[in-house]
Amino acid sequence: MTDDVTTEARTAGQRAADRRFPAPGKPLPVSTYRLQLGADLTFDDVAARLPYYADLGVTHLYLSPVLAAAPGSTHGYDVVDHTRVSDVLGGRERLEALAEQAHAVGLGMILDIVPNHMAVPTPAWHNLPLWSVLAHGADSPYARWFDVDWSSGDGSLLMPVLGSRIGDVLAGDELSLDVADVPGVGKQQTVLRYYDHVFPVRPGTESLPLAELVDRQHYRLAHWKVGDEELNYRRFFDVGTLAAIRVEDPEVFDESHALILELLRDGVIDGLRIDHPDGLADPSGYLSRLAEATGGAWVAVEKILAGEEEVPRDWETVGTTGYEGLWRLQATFVEPSGESRLASLMHRVTGDEGDGLEALVETSKREVVDGPLYAEVHRLTDLAATICRDDLRLRDHSWRALRECLVELLVAFDRYRAYVVPGEQPSRDALAAMDEAAKIARRHVGADRAETLDVLVELLLGREVGSAGRRREPRRDELAVRFQQVCGAVMAKGVEDTAFYRWTHLVSLCEVGGEPSRFALSADELHAFAARAADHSPAAMTTGSTHDTKRNEDTRAATSVLSEHAVEWTETVGRLRSVSARARTALVDGRTENLVWQTLVGTWADGPISVDRIQEYLRKAVREAKTHTTWTAPDEAYEDAVLGFAAWAVTDEAVLDIAAGWAATVAPSVRATSLGIKLVQLTMPGVADVYQGTELFVPTLVDPDNRRPVDAVDLHERLARLDAGSRPRDLGEEKLLVTSGALRTRRRFPDAFVGPDSGYRPVAASSGSALAFARTQGDSPRIVTLATRGAATLARLGGWRDHMIALPEGRWHDVLSGAVVDGGHQPVAPLLEQLPVALFVPEEDA
């Protein structure tokens, strides 16, 4: 599967510089503003808002995918045509017009692209490559595009779209023949209809009896539930409507990237964000080919790094989109002393033990391996069994034994993949990851399976095992690659989309790419991470919120302060449980109840979240948790009980009085945490990203809640008022002041933030509540950030009192408050008199 990657591209990957930057002369963003495009935010709408983005201080707009997407798409990740810019967004003409207007006000553009998959749309003809495969099967010129196992399903592509079994569909006359004009094909043709679904009819079968006609197609229509058990095309995680494509094939790469590369060459866009590279057969080879095709453009990858994992050194990328920094920054603003009290509260409400996360993750991964991802594991097992059957020395390793060992390895694997490339020596990190997974797996397999597990590990590492000389064979290569692709799906669906919806210790820690087992981090740990980022990936991204985060930065900030007020929160939950006892039926489980209370206070903004918003969120949360209800088998009685309870909770006067009192109590902590996280994220090493609307304090939840329209006119008016000298009227405007101040500072001093000589240096302070660091250029401090962490703990200890900070020498101007201060040892209290954060630049540059 990887032989198509050129030797030249691979060699280029090995030459990736130790400090990741785009090639000389290529644009380098200093900051980005993420825009979630759609019917309510087109290219022309963005163009109308350009003055605001420029005034805010960003250097680049960061656009969600712009290629033609499936009908009704709300996000653009379901691409159907790589040759067209979305007409819904305005088409290529309006995209180029936007670029020209953006350039006129000093803004560039970064584009999010999706190399891993395409949509399986309704009707299917919207995706013409897929339509061709449905019509002609393996003989289609586009058959190489899709990752299909043609040896499975009698050579037919499984289409699990039916609402009931095929026999019932036929008996109910739900299928019919029709003649239709297929857009893009240019002629009428006979089609098979199933409600809104339309499929091509194989030439020569039009006159057959319907049942025989259905049986003779290059696709197999099946009940939708069959997809999790027999699917023969690779998909995006467990989403059957997103079919994987094979960009490891040079022709597929060239055809699917031609328009994107043209936009780069023409200067319409300046760089790329790559969606889910872990799903690709060869991420390193893909990035090498992309670097070669773009001349080394700025390319960031959406990569989840587990624990201390780092981006593989041979990946030609500036780094990730920032999830590893997001969770560390979040945890730095969590009070460690609250861990045990919140664990006790969780146990009382849910029954979960404070040390139960590891077991919960294991259980969740086993459930998705045996459920939504059964088809993927089955395909892996078939592949491994075929390899063993074809080698006399391996023939006695049975299908069942191989499946059991594969399951244990997938459950034990602690990251998205090991990055084993067939034909290459695995890296030390890959070997260590596989070795650790194998050690864990051995504890769960019987002694008679141990030898099978050893054989499987050798196969997955691409080593010689079985008969002498048998190593580089197509099926063996494929097994090594597919195992890694399934690892990513198990992590995403088992951990982030299951376990993280079950674990309610402190829900702000259960974030995309998060590590909730690390309840809190020290300032020194954050400094160490930031210093390494400055040394190795200064042009990667930092983020506080994305279109994928389960809670945005403000919701996480308002939830994280529970750790600072753990005693008071425990008492508050006791009162909430008391007043809600009659409204909370026995169907509402403890995990969901604990989630409701944290969501109520986490989304409080001058009042409670609306009924429709919390209900929409909770329906998704409980289905993702998969404990009592799922997307595929919803339990209406349970969901009605949960949604009814949530609606009551955000409207009951007694509950709202308690919640309002809580909000007032923790307001100083929320203020310091929200502003502190924002300022640190915008000034720590990396290209700082601002997700649309998060320049204000607006707590939101997972999509679609976090993708609601943003009132840019109101934002611009607020910013203009602040620029005219008005004081912020609320926390939202304070956050806008901090955001604009940090972004404008980045724009004025780009070399200190993303330049080749940019650096990071902690600044000493006598209090652990003062988080301070300098951004340097060469050896010279150019910017100093000061933030307050643990505001409640600080207040209990008497505030800043005589605490000092050791500012670098010189005179410093705080761009947020206007204050000027000398360098050297200075008391902290005067520096944070107006805001709990400060951002200093040299007075001569103010």
Q: Which helix (H) or strand (E) holds 345?
A: helix 339-350
Task: Find residue 235's DSSP bridge partners.
Answer: 243
* CB-CB neighbours of 551 under 10 Å: 28
Q: Are residues 169 and 312 in the same domain?
A: no
Q: Are residues 104 and 251 in the same domain?
A: yes
- Look at residue 377 and tell me if it is in a domain: yes
- Look at residue 44 and tell me if it is in a domain: yes
Taking only the tens place, the pLDDT of each residue in 434-493 is 999 999 999 999 889 999 999 999 999 999 999 988 888 999 999 999 999 999 999 999
Across the range 794-798, mean pLDDT stands at 95
Taking only the tens place, the pLDDT of each residue in 10-54 is 343 343 446 899 999 999 999 999 999 999 999 999 999 999 999
Query: pTM (2 decimals)?
Result: 0.94
Q: Are residues 379 and 468 in the same domain?
A: yes
Across the range 55-81, mean pLDDT stands at 96
Q: Are residues 99 and 137 in the same domain?
A: no
Judge whether 727 and 583 are in contact, CB under 8 Å: no
Q: Are residues 86 and 46 in the same domain?
A: yes
Instruction: Give Cα separations from 291 to 13, 284, 297, 345, 662 (angstroms).
Output: 9, 10, 7, 51, 52
The three-point CA angle 800-806-812 to 5° equals: 100
- Look at residue 201 and tell me if it is in a domain: yes
Q: Are residues 271 and 188 in the same domain?
A: no
Q: Are residues 280 and 370 in the same domain?
A: no
| CA–CA dist 370, 372 (Å, integer) | 7
Q: Are residues 108 and 255 in the same domain?
A: yes
Percentage of the chain surpassing pLDDT 70?
98
pLDDT of 635: 97
- Look at residue 737 and tell me if it is in a domain: no
Residue 419 has pLDDT above 80, yes or no: yes
| CA–CA dist 631, 165 (Å, integer) | 19
Taking only the tens place, the pLDDT of each residue in 491-505 is 999 999 999 999 999
Taking only the tens place, the pLDDT of each residue in 122-170 is 999 999 999 999 999 999 999 999 999 888 767 899 999 999 999 999 9
Q: Which has more pLDDT, 788 or 467? A: 788
Judge whether 236 and 280 are in contact, CB under 8 Å: no
Of 217, 238, 259, the residue that ends a domain is 238
Give me the half-sphere count of Cα atoms (radius 13 Å) on the Cβ side of residue 410: 36
Judge whether 244 and 277 are in contact, CB under 8 Å: no
pLDDT of 10: 36
What amino acid occupies position 177?
A: L
* Mode of pairing for the β-strands spanning 804-814 and 820-827: antiparallel
The three-point CA angle 445-450-453 to 5° equals: 90
In which order are the strands placed within the sheet that holds 108-113? 319-320, 298-301, 271-274, 108-113, 60-63, 31-35, 687-691, 541-542
Q: Are residues 182 and 279 in the same domain?
A: no
pLDDT of 12: 38
DSSP 495: I
Taking only the tens place, the pLDDT of each residue in 261-270 is 999 999 999 9
Taking only the tens place, the pLDDT of each residue in 526-575 is 999 999 999 999 999 999 999 999 999 999 999 999 999 999 999 999 99
Residue 292 has pLDDT above 70, yes or no: yes
- Which CATH number goes with the domain that contains 209? 3.30.1590.10
Across the range 83-110, mean pLDDT stands at 98
The count of domains in the chain is 3
Task: Find residue 159's DSSP bridge partners.
Answer: 221
Across the range 785-793, mean pLDDT stands at 97
Q: Which helix (H) or strand (E) holds 761?
A: strand 758-762
- Look at residue 170 and tell me if it is in a domain: yes
Give 17-67 as a DSSP string.
-SS--PPTTS---SEEEEE--BTTB-HHHHHHTHHHHHHHT-SEEEEPP-E
Give the chain's mean pLDDT. Answer: 95
pLDDT of 153: 64
- Look at residue 265 and tell me if it is in a domain: yes
Q: Are residues 173 and 211 in the same domain?
A: yes
Residues 6+ away with beta carbon under 8 Å from 260:
67, 82, 111, 113, 269, 272
Q: Are residues 287 and 388 in the same domain?
A: no
Q: Are residues 255 and 107 in the same domain?
A: yes
Q: 704: cis peptide before it, omega within 30°?
A: yes
What is the SS3 string spanning 769-822?
CEEEEEEEECCEEEEEEEEECCHHHHHHCCCCCCCEEEEEEEEEEECCCCCEEE
Instruction: Residue 669: name the closest of 594, 575, 568 by CA.
Output: 568
| CA–CA dist 197, 162 (Å, integer) | 9
- Look at residue 305 and tell me if it is in a domain: yes
| CA–CA dist 697, 643 (Å, integer) | 26
pLDDT of 184: 79
| CA–CA dist 788, 791 (Å, integer) | 6
Judge whether 273 and 300 are in contact, CB under 8 Å: yes
Extended strands (E) in 471-626: 541-542
Strand, helix or coil at 698? coil
* Domain range for 454: 361-416+427-482
| CA–CA dist 652, 608 (Å, integer) | 11
Taking only the tens place, the pLDDT of each residue in 422-435 is 999 999 999 999 99
Burial label for 440, CB within 10 Å (0-12, 13-18, 19+), is middle
- Look at residue 745 and tell me if it is in a domain: no
| CA–CA dist 235, 279 (Å, integer) | 9
Strand, helix or coil at 117? strand
